[in-house]
A and B are shown apart, each in its own frame.
Chain A
């Protein structure tokens, strides 16, 4: 099932399929390791619901919901 990162629930894991958008934001996402094939785990949301904190490539990354909107993932089903 494909889902955008800003629609993820805390605790969900997904595999990046595509990174949309353009320009600086997309470039930055790539440089920070948000590329297709990487696994993303949504760790938590900030106290006010935005931005998000994810675990990717072994480190913690924070990004806003409107930036996460560009990241399309396949939700991993085998998690509990």
Chain B
């Protein structure tokens, strides 16, 4: 099958063309690369099927980002049968710059002039034939979005692919051509493919090229001494870039006919006529309102995805005694509860969660027990290990993760819209100044704030970061932005603290824990960017695309891609890990099925590791039941909401042996979900409130759930995942013990030993800073 590669600038409509060409026939295969992926699909409307490869968007064939390397290597090494160069007709000048480089490669090239519909709508016209003549390759005007002229493009591409093409350059400087010719002959002697392309890149002092062919550099250097351009001296890089642009502006300036009015305005030097896009931009990046509008947009994105009290009408619901939607059925409370309307994200989440629960739950409104569970109990008998394995192990684990998918997709949809409209680039523009202080660029903001929803899409989103070190640092701190699944931990334990110690305020505790996460992220990013992940902030030279309406089809394809990616993971690594944890928590050392935690392998592991949590306030200082916190933290690795469901399971055991707590619980009356179990655990283990807060902090900062770990492993550069795990463990231990020590100062019984502890901590910090400084001295930063 012939392979046609799509190459072009970012934002020139490449992916739209890919989707239009491969359409419903697309079987999109992903090759996850370091930072990006190329996609392939099949075009079936010609007499033979054609494989279409969508390459990452590039501005040039000089390697600047990992993306550009991928595209360059594909075109040079994989020998596609034809390169379809997509050129944005509304911005010929910059787009043709890449074309001039593609023409230097020995490969058939065809230029697709995209967005012709927009151009025509603006009242402009383009002389396609003239462009074709100047470039010497076929040029076809198309509209990828409206699917205009795609057949012609493909049949001409097929025609072009039948005859080989030898690379040509548009550089016209005679002396320079002479040098390029010499280098080219040397390359031909070494049997290098694409000698012309490589010769030009070497003369340009391209990074990759000079590394590959150091033997030829003296030749270029010797020639340099004799060369003297009147404007650029012997700066070949500038001469070549300039001659490309010279060629474009002198040849194609007249190819585009602008509407009359604009030409008149041009003469008056009123070039910067305001378009609709400009007017939108004026508001969205306004000096004062820009940041405020951004904050409001973010609020609504999260509100619509995660809120269980949409538009804050919950109070009215409570006062008027509104009954939950679908009361008494398995979908009780799907759309609204007695305390508020659910957001679209929550409704979707509920729908899946409730449906799953109708299958495997053991206390489902309306039907009592889930269908699968009751069916299996009938078949195998209550308490059979296989019933537990299927329901509590395999299905519960899978459903817990798949249940999140719809909510993640809703969040992703919003962010895709922001990206598609062009707003995301402005967000990076607005925030870059702040983020640079932490050693990151403005682009790192989006993955971070997405982390408040879910770490998985957030980590995938870091692909937009060009610099590997910045990317690694960002992925590592993403879990610190407390995700939706960690909120129940906060609510339950904060509620428990309030009930047991009659002190504190739930909201204050929750907000300050969120703040702890953000502060930890900032500190860790700063530390990393000054030590192991050191490097200059990556340049921020970026196109700001014009605003346009998001495209429904593109959005859907994007979401579908994400879904497949996520589901694939859920069925492999996550499923396996879930089963392991289920086994450990339900079997004893004698391989007997227990059906509960008591006497399980997990319990003894919990008891064994309990002492290491002593400096954090929930280790050896607790009574014999103290292992529950260790166990809850371990089960939290599957999914963070397991922390509280583990509490619930353990609380049942604790309560049954402790009548005093039963009485207290009854006195408590109705409380929010999970608070009663947290209450029971706090009362039974003798943990202090400082220990509770430290426990929350530990869960927020430690290794995230398996889904996030699997994503991190896939997204991080090779070999970095182990260190990332270690980083999460160390960060959570250090932060939680500092919090525990600090809070203990408010406690008269323990502040005396808190003082020497702080002295010790200060000493450790001083040693750490010394080591960092030494490390930095011995590992000088590589200058770009």
Using a CB–CB distance below 8 Å, which chain A residues touch chain B? Answer: 19, 23-33, 35-38, 41, 43-44, 46-51, 53, 55, 57-64, 67, 78-79
Q: How far is B546's CA from A53's CA once the two chains are assembled, in angstroms?
A: 13
> For the complex, is B784 an interface residue (Cβ under 8 Å from A)?
yes
Q: Which residues 414-451 in B have Cβ within 8 Å of A in the complex?
A: 425, 429-430, 432-434, 436, 442
The answer to whether A25 touches B433, judged by C-beta atoms less than 8 angstroms apart, is no
**Which residues of chain A come closer than 8 Å to B246, judged between CB atoms?**
37
CB closest chain-B residue, reference A60? B544
The answer to whether B540 touches A36, judged by C-beta atoms less than 8 angstroms apart, is no
Partner of B543, one of A30, A48, A51, A59: A59
The answer to whether A53 touches B544, judged by C-beta atoms less than 8 angstroms apart, is yes
Task: Evaluate whether A30 and B241 lie within 8 angstroms (CB atoms) in the complex, with A47-B290, A64-B432 already known.
Answer: yes
**Which residues of chain B come closer than 8 Å to A47, judged between CB atoms?**
285-288, 290-291, 430
A-B contact pairs, 6 of them (CB 8 A): A36-B238, A41-B271, A60-B544, A61-B541, A64-B432, A64-B539
**Which residues of chain B come closer than 8 Å to A46, judged between CB atoms?**
285, 429-430, 432-433
Q: How far is B59's CA from A28's CA once the two chains are assembled, in angstroms?
A: 9
**Which residues of chain A come closer than 8 Å to B285, judged between CB atoms?**
44, 46-47, 53
The answer to whether A31 touches B287, judged by C-beta atoms less than 8 angstroms apart, is no
The answer to whether B97 touches A62, judged by C-beta atoms less than 8 angstroms apart, is no
The size of the chain B interface, using a CB distance under 8 A, is: 45
Measured between C-beta atoms, what is the minimum distance from A62 to chain B in Å?
Answer: 5
Q: How far is B540's CA from A25's CA once the two chains are assembled, in angstroms?
A: 9
Task: Evaluate whether A25 and B241 lie within 8 angstroms (CB atoms) in the complex, with A31-B59, A51-B429 already known.
Answer: no
Q: How far is B237's CA from A55's CA once the two chains are assembled, in angstroms?
A: 23
Q: How far is B59's CA from A78's CA once the two chains are assembled, in angstroms?
A: 33
**Which residues of chain A come closer than 8 Å to B436, judged between CB atoms?**
64
**Which residues of chain A come closer than 8 Å to B133, judged between CB atoms?**
none
**Which residues of chain B come closer than 8 Å to A32, judged between CB atoms?**
59, 94, 541, 543
Return the CB mask of B261-303 against A: 1 if under 8 Å, else 0: 0000000010110000000000001111011000000000000
Measured between C-beta atoms, what is the minimum distance from B428 to chain A in Å?
Answer: 8
The answer to whether A67 touches B269, judged by C-beta atoms less than 8 angstroms apart, is no
Partner of A64, one of B97, B287, B540, B546: B540
**Which residues of chain B come closer than 8 Å to A26, judged between CB atoms?**
237
Measured between C-beta atoms, what is the minimum distance from A46 to chain B in Å?
Answer: 5
**Which residues of chain A come closer than 8 Å to B271, judged between CB atoms?**
41, 55
The total number of A-B Cβ pairs within 8 Å is 119
> For the complex, is B60 an interface residue (Cβ under 8 Å from A)?
yes
Measured between C-beta atoms, what is the minimum distance from A56 to chain B in Å?
Answer: 8
Known: A51-B540, A53-B285. 10 other contacts (CB 8 A): A31-B62, A31-B97, A36-B231, A36-B238, A48-B433, A59-B94, A60-B544, A61-B543, A63-B540, A79-B269
Task: Evaluate whether A49 and B433 lie within 8 angstroms (CB atoms) in the complex, with A58-B94, A62-B540 already known.
Answer: yes
**Which residues of chain B come closer than 8 Å to A51, judged between CB atoms?**
429, 432-433, 442, 540
Task: Evaluate whether A50 and B432 lie within 8 angstroms (CB atoms) in the complex, with A36-B231, A58-B94 already known.
Answer: yes
**Which residues of chain B come closer than 8 Å to A50, judged between CB atoms?**
432-433
The answer to whether A25 touches B272, judged by C-beta atoms less than 8 angstroms apart, is no
**Which residues of chain B come closer than 8 Å to A63, judged between CB atoms?**
539-542
Partner of A25, one of B237, B442, B541: B541
CB closest chain-B residue, reference A59? B91
**Which residues of chain B come closer than 8 Å to A43, judged between CB atoms?**
272
**Which residues of chain B come closer than 8 Å to A28, judged between CB atoms?**
64, 539, 541
Q: Which residues 519-564 in B have Cβ within 8 Å of A in the complex?
A: 539-546
Q: Which residues 373-425 in B have Cβ within 8 Å of A in the complex?
A: 425
> For the complex, is B608 an interface residue (Cβ under 8 Å from A)?
no
The answer to whether B784 touches A62, judged by C-beta atoms less than 8 angstroms apart, is no
Measured between C-beta atoms, what is the minimum distance from B298 to chain A in Å?
Answer: 15
Using a CB–CB distance below 8 Å, which chain B residues touch chain A? Answer: 59-60, 62, 64, 90-91, 93-94, 97, 207, 231-232, 237-238, 241-242, 245-246, 269, 271-272, 285-288, 290-291, 425, 429-430, 432-434, 436, 442, 539-546, 783-784
CB closest chain-B residue, reference A79? B269
CB closest chain-A residue, reference B98? A31
**Which residues of chain B come closer than 8 Å to A33, judged between CB atoms?**
93-94, 97, 245
Q: How far is B380's CA from A26's CA once the two chains are assembled, in angstroms?
A: 72
**Which residues of chain A come closer than 8 Å to B540, judged between CB atoms?**
51, 62-64, 67
**Which residues of chain B come closer than 8 Å to A30, judged between CB atoms?**
237-238, 241
**Which residues of chain A come closer than 8 Å to B287, judged between CB atoms?**
47
**Which residues of chain B come closer than 8 Å to A38, judged between CB atoms?**
245
**Which residues of chain A come closer than 8 Å to B94, judged between CB atoms?**
32-33, 57-59
Partner of B62, one of A27, A57, A61: A27
Measured between C-beta atoms, what is the minimum distance from B760 to chain A in Å?
Answer: 40
Measured between C-beta atoms, what is the minimum distance from B489 to chain A in Å?
Answer: 35
The answer to whether B429 touches A48, judged by C-beta atoms less than 8 angstroms apart, is no
**Which residues of chain B come closer than 8 Å to A37, judged between CB atoms?**
242, 245-246
Q: How far is B122's CA from A58's CA once the two chains are assembled, in angstroms?
A: 14
**Which residues of chain A come closer than 8 Å to B231, judged between CB atoms?**
36
Q: How far is B541's CA from A33's CA once the two chains are assembled, in angstroms?
A: 11
Measured between C-beta atoms, what is the minimum distance from B10 to chain A in Å?
Answer: 11
The answer to whether A23 touches B245, judged by C-beta atoms less than 8 angstroms apart, is no
Measured between C-beta atoms, what is the minimum distance from B63 to chain A in Å?
Answer: 9
The answer to whether A57 touches B432, judged by C-beta atoms less than 8 angstroms apart, is no
**Which residues of chain A come closer than 8 Å to B90, judged between CB atoms?**
58
Q: How far is B287's CA from A21's CA once the two chains are assembled, in angstroms?
A: 30
CB closest chain-B residue, reference A41? B272
The answer to whether B62 touches A67, judged by C-beta atoms less than 8 angstroms apart, is no
**Which residues of chain B come closer than 8 Å to A29, judged between CB atoms?**
541
In the A-B complex, the 5 residue pairs with the closest CB atoms: A31-B60, A48-B433, A30-B241, A60-B544, A24-B784
CB closest chain-A residue, reference B537? A64
Q: How far is B433's CA from A70's CA once the two chains are assembled, in angstroms?
A: 19
The answer to whether A58 touches B97, judged by C-beta atoms less than 8 angstroms apart, is no
Q: How far is B546's CA from A57's CA once the two chains are assembled, in angstroms?
A: 14
Task: Evaluate whether A78 and B269 lie within 8 angstroms (CB atoms) in the complex, with A29-B541, A33-B97, A51-B433 already known.
Answer: yes
Measured between C-beta atoms, what is the minimum distance from B232 to chain A in Å?
Answer: 7
Task: Evaluate whether A61 and B544 lie within 8 angstroms (CB atoms) in the complex, with A31-B60, A31-B62 already known.
Answer: yes
**Which residues of chain A come closer than 8 Å to B539, judged between CB atoms?**
24-25, 28, 63-64, 67
Task: Evaluate whether A23 and B783 lie within 8 angstroms (CB atoms) in the complex, with A36-B232, A47-B288, A51-B540 already known.
Answer: yes
Measured between C-beta atoms, what is the minimum distance from B434 to chain A in Å?
Answer: 7
CB closest chain-B residue, reference A23? B784
Measured between C-beta atoms, what is the minimum distance from B579 to chain A in Å?
Answer: 47
Measured between C-beta atoms, what is the minimum distance from B426 to chain A in Å?
Answer: 9
Measured between C-beta atoms, what is the minimum distance from B151 to chain A in Å?
Answer: 30
Measured between C-beta atoms, what is the minimum distance from A66 to chain B in Å?
Answer: 9
Q: How far is B783's CA from A31's CA once the two chains are assembled, in angstroms?
A: 20
Q: How far is B271's CA from A63's CA once the two chains are assembled, in angstroms?
A: 21
Q: How far is B94's CA from A30's CA once the two chains are assembled, in angstroms?
A: 11
Q: How far is B241's CA from A31's CA once the two chains are assembled, in angstroms?
A: 7
Q: How far is B245's CA from A38's CA once the two chains are assembled, in angstroms?
A: 9
CB closest chain-A residue, reference B206? A27
